[in-house]
Chains A and B, each alone.
Chain A
């Protein structure tokens, strides 16, 4: 965990303030759509990205996206302001601000994307930026390990997700979410089950459903503002967002209902118990996040108005109180130096505003009227009574909410109003930049509860409409819904929750004993990773001999086998050699190349061999010139020149080839060389035998001038028609150069005397 730094350091700096300002501006930008979306539905923004692959940068602002966008930018701005103060004077604060800002933008892109591929790109971006954020205290090995765990797990889920998206694209003929959702459920399609499983793996890893949950509590290694942001409204909600977004097209089957209900309910109840078990308040909150994610998944299993309304309301409530509480814990940690639930108590007098914010957020979390949390709970019970597996859902929801009530008291009541313990530091009120966030969020939770109609009209009902794929009837959010079953369940929840709080110390002990006997998934992960590394090392030792000749032999052997197999399986027939029309010049060049080759084979001097190779290369360049391909010829000549010059520099220092020892493998090399050469010649002759297809040539000859204004077709293809390919190639040039650079500069230092690598020694002895 990053230690909160010097409280007296100046904290207003450009990096922090600019990111806060931009995020706040984005919040205002999205807030201006608040009156638009409930009336007009969705607002699309489209740019063509790679139209030839049907990949568009299309964005789509509907109720669901809008709610997420407001949460992301709103909480984002508050968290960034908070972080500026929290990390004041931290030497790497600027880097932190950059990470946090990039994360915010990736998350924003994710919830606005309409194209599945665009969505996937942003999905992966959130994975990478959250990796940087979780591992921000990179000098701490535990922090690095936990960040890597989060990265590997969520990226693995991301791969499954990509596969699912591609399957959707192939089977449904479009990547646009708006079209997919408009088309309704794809439950009848034969590929549905595969798509569903792949998408669910992606969503469940990101939203940390049991048994893939263990990375989330570990991700608390991040500084507290990061936890507040990632685990309230953003990162972990991405999976929930995806399920909600794809609800119209993926729900509507029994599998969907069963899987989401079981995983969601299990996660919610398991996490609630684990939350009581923890003594570190931040860990407690981490598990309550898990509980919330489970609950959201559980209610997304349903398709009725109440179930979806419950999910959306709870999502809003949870984002507000969870971000608030995380920020409060950060203040407590910052001001007292501890987060231990057993020690903290009686802080209300020293930090009244923080205590008030904590109390308000805690009441929202506990679901006490008149907070929005209460309404969310009422709607949730109403939804649960309508869902499939009713009894199971109601019981699980009841257990989770009762435990949540107890946890709310542990987190938000006890530290401030309970008995005081020994604190490492004398507590005092946090600075305004840090108190502002939790206070705002806590007050919002209360205001929305007092005016449920406003929250429902502007935020929740448009979101519900987006998830249901149909206009929402609304009118479900009421502070007072009359005497009914949900109200009774709520009252029972309070009673059970209070009892749990009274005995939570006993319960904690008991849970600790159970936990000690349960399998430890986190340790299992480490063992899995160790086994993976051991396997990688083992196979590297076998495959990577470090002898260049072996690599070359293997490469060409594979080439020969591939060509031979193809030609045997699909017989292409023989070839006829015709020598007519070959002039003096061609014969001369052929003789030159042959002479160069003979020199390479026979000489025992490396330099002479290199010169021989150079002659061969220049011969090839001459062929290009004769057959009018000047561009290729020039490139070939230059590359040949560079290779000869560079290798000559290196070879000057190397010993003569050992004439005595080279006989053993030479026959094999010769056989392989003849085989590859013969096969290549055969293929080339067959290819030139086939009639030449002029379609592409004609197209480029015509279009290169009229469409790209260039007369050099080769260059026009490189920089205009096939630019993306060229861009990929130059990226490869850089990667190759950097790789070679690293090998030359870094790799050699590990060897004896810091000059030669062990492999190089081995090579010389051959």
Chain B
């Protein structure tokens, strides 16, 4: 697509979309969002970029191969599930660690395996869809 306006606009739009996708990922536990939606948005961001500037440049901007990202995501999700074994719980039981307190209300923030799992989901969706999209664009 040879449109200067689109190409120029895309650069700004992509950054915004990508940041928005991270925002959606992180707010997911309490408000609409989460790994699936975040991953989809992130994929949209890079697809817009590849439409504007070509898949080669979008791939370069991604820095890693989309298939690799998806695989790493699956690995992260699995690890988030396996962590529960260390604490003696069944597989995929959410683990929570409260920073500065001992419950949700008293702590400042929490470190938990649930968000890690969601990040895995995000990466899988992002990588999976992008690997498809890039292959699609390169073929046609």
B91 touches A50 (CB 8 A): yes
What separation, in Å, do the CA atoms of A727 and B128 have in the docked complex?
A: 14
What separation, in Å, do the CA atoms of A631 and B30 have in the docked complex?
A: 11
Task: Determine which of A635, A653, A741 lies in contact with B140 in the assembled complex, contact meaning CB atoms within 8 Å.
Answer: A653
Contact with B along A733-766 (1 / 0, CB 8 A): 1101110110011001000000000000000000
B124 neighbours in A (Cβ, 8 Å): 730, 733-734
What separation, in Å, do the CA atoms of A745 and B138 have in the docked complex?
A: 9
What separation, in Å, do the CA atoms of A75 and B2 have in the docked complex?
A: 67
B129 touches A642 (CB 8 A): yes
A738 touches B67 (CB 8 A): yes
B11 adjacent to chain A (CB < 8 Å): no
A340 adjacent to chain B (CB < 8 Å): no
B84 CB to closest chain A CB (Å) equals: 9
Question: Which residues A704-738 have CB closer than 8 A to chain B?
Answer: 708-712, 714-716, 718-720, 723-724, 726-727, 730-731, 733-734, 736-738
Task: Determine which of B36, B44, B51 lies in contact with A649 in the assembled complex, contact meaning CB atoms within 8 Å.
Answer: B51
A710 touches B30 (CB 8 A): yes
What separation, in Å, do the CA atoms of A719 and B96 have in the docked complex?
A: 13
Task: Report how many residues on chain B are interfacial, defined by Cβ distance under 8 Å.
Answer: 55
**Residue ID in chain A nearest B88 by CB atoms:** A47
Contact with B along A652-685 (1 / 0, CB 8 A): 1100000000000000000000000000000000
B70 adjacent to chain A (CB < 8 Å): yes
Secondary structure call for the B interface: helix
B64 adjacent to chain A (CB < 8 Å): no
B104 touches A709 (CB 8 A): yes
What separation, in Å, do the CA atoms of A731 and B85 have in the docked complex?
A: 21
A645 adjacent to chain B (CB < 8 Å): yes
**Residue ID in chain A nearest B98 by CB atoms:** A709
**Residue ID in chain A nearest B137 by CB atoms:** A649
Question: Which residues B33-72 have CB closer than 8 A to chain A?
Answer: 33-37, 40-41, 43-44, 47, 51, 67, 70-71
B135 touches A744 (CB 8 A): yes
A50 touches B90 (CB 8 A): yes
Most buried by B among A52, A642, A653, A737: A737
**Residue ID in chain B nearest A725 by CB atoms:** B92
B110 touches A709 (CB 8 A): yes
B131 touches A737 (CB 8 A): yes
A710 neighbours in B (Cβ, 8 Å): 29-30, 114
B74 neighbours in A (Cβ, 8 Å): 730-731, 734
**Residue ID in chain A nearest B40 by CB atoms:** A638
What separation, in Å, do the CA atoms of A648 and B110 have in the docked complex?
A: 44
A715 neighbours in B (Cβ, 8 Å): 28-29, 33-34, 118
**Known A-B contacts A719-B121, A744-B136; A634 and B128 likewise in contact (beta carbons under 8 Å):** no
B31 neighbours in A (Cβ, 8 Å): 711-712
A650 adjacent to chain B (CB < 8 Å): yes
What separation, in Å, do the CA atoms of A744 and B55 have in the docked complex?
A: 15
A49 touches B91 (CB 8 A): yes
What separation, in Å, do the CA atoms of A638 and B126 have in the docked complex?
A: 12
A631 neighbours in B (Cβ, 8 Å): 32-34, 37
A730 touches B33 (CB 8 A): no
A630 adjacent to chain B (CB < 8 Å): yes
B32 touches A741 (CB 8 A): no
Task: Determine which of A630, A634, A653, A737 lies in contact with B70 in the assembled complex, contact meaning CB atoms within 8 Å.
Answer: A737
B9 CB to closest chain A CB (Å) equals: 15
Most buried by B among A49, A649, A731: A649
A63 CB to closest chain B CB (Å) equals: 28
**Residue ID in chain A nearest B21 by CB atoms:** A638
**Known A-B contacts A49-B91, A741-B132; A638 and B34 likewise in contact (beta carbons under 8 Å):** no
**Residue ID in chain B nearest A738 by CB atoms:** B67
A572 adjacent to chain B (CB < 8 Å): no
B74 CB to closest chain A CB (Å) equals: 6
What separation, in Å, do the CA atoms of A712 and B34 have in the docked complex?
A: 9
B117 touches A723 (CB 8 A): yes
A646 adjacent to chain B (CB < 8 Å): yes
B70 neighbours in A (Cβ, 8 Å): 733-734, 737
A635 touches B40 (CB 8 A): yes
A51 adjacent to chain B (CB < 8 Å): yes
Task: Determine which of A645, A708, A716, A727 lies in contact with B92 in the assembled complex, contact meaning CB atoms within 8 Å.
Answer: A727
A744 neighbours in B (Cβ, 8 Å): 132, 135-136, 139
A642 touches B121 (CB 8 A): no
A481 adjacent to chain B (CB < 8 Å): no
B73 neighbours in A (Cβ, 8 Å): 730
B3 CB to closest chain A CB (Å) equals: 14
B129 neighbours in A (Cβ, 8 Å): 642, 737
A391 adjacent to chain B (CB < 8 Å): no
**Residue ID in chain B nearest A711 by CB atoms:** B30
B55 CB to closest chain A CB (Å) equals: 10
B14 adjacent to chain A (CB < 8 Å): no
A741 CB to closest chain B CB (Å) equals: 5
A561 adjacent to chain B (CB < 8 Å): no
**Residue ID in chain B nearest A648 by CB atoms:** B51
B10 adjacent to chain A (CB < 8 Å): no
**Residue ID in chain B nearest A744 by CB atoms:** B135
B102 adjacent to chain A (CB < 8 Å): no
**Known A-B contacts A49-B90, A650-B140; A718 and B36 likewise in contact (beta carbons under 8 Å):** yes
A641 adjacent to chain B (CB < 8 Å): yes
What separation, in Å, do the CA atoms of A682 and B51 have in the docked complex?
A: 42
**Known A-B contacts A708-B114, A730-B124; A650 and B40 likewise in contact (beta carbons under 8 Å):** no
A719 touches B117 (CB 8 A): yes
What separation, in Å, do the CA atoms of A120 and B132 have in the docked complex?
A: 35
**Residue ID in chain A nearest B123 by CB atoms:** A730
**Known A-B contacts A710-B30, A723-B92; A638 and B77 likewise in contact (beta carbons under 8 Å):** no
Q: Could you jot down 28 A-B contacts, CB within 8 Å?
A: A48-B90, A634-B32, A634-B33, A635-B40, A638-B37, A645-B47, A653-B140, A708-B114, A709-B112, A711-B29, A712-B28, A712-B31, A714-B34, A718-B118, A719-B118, A719-B121, A727-B81, A727-B92, A730-B74, A730-B77, A733-B124, A733-B125, A734-B127, A737-B128, A740-B132, A744-B139, A745-B135, A745-B139
**Shortest beta-carbon contacts, A-B, top 10:** A737-B128, A723-B92, A630-B32, A638-B40, A715-B34, A711-B30, A730-B124, A744-B135, A710-B29, A733-B128
Interface residues of B (CB under 8 A from A): 24, 28-37, 40-41, 43-44, 47, 51, 67, 70-71, 73-74, 77-78, 81, 85, 88-92, 94, 96, 104, 110, 112, 114-115, 117-118, 120-121, 124-125, 127-129, 131-133, 135-137, 139-140
- A sample of 9 more A-B contacts (CB under 8 A), given A638-B44, A649-B51, A733-B70, is A634-B32, A649-B136, A649-B137, A711-B30, A714-B32, A724-B81, A726-B77, A730-B73, A734-B71
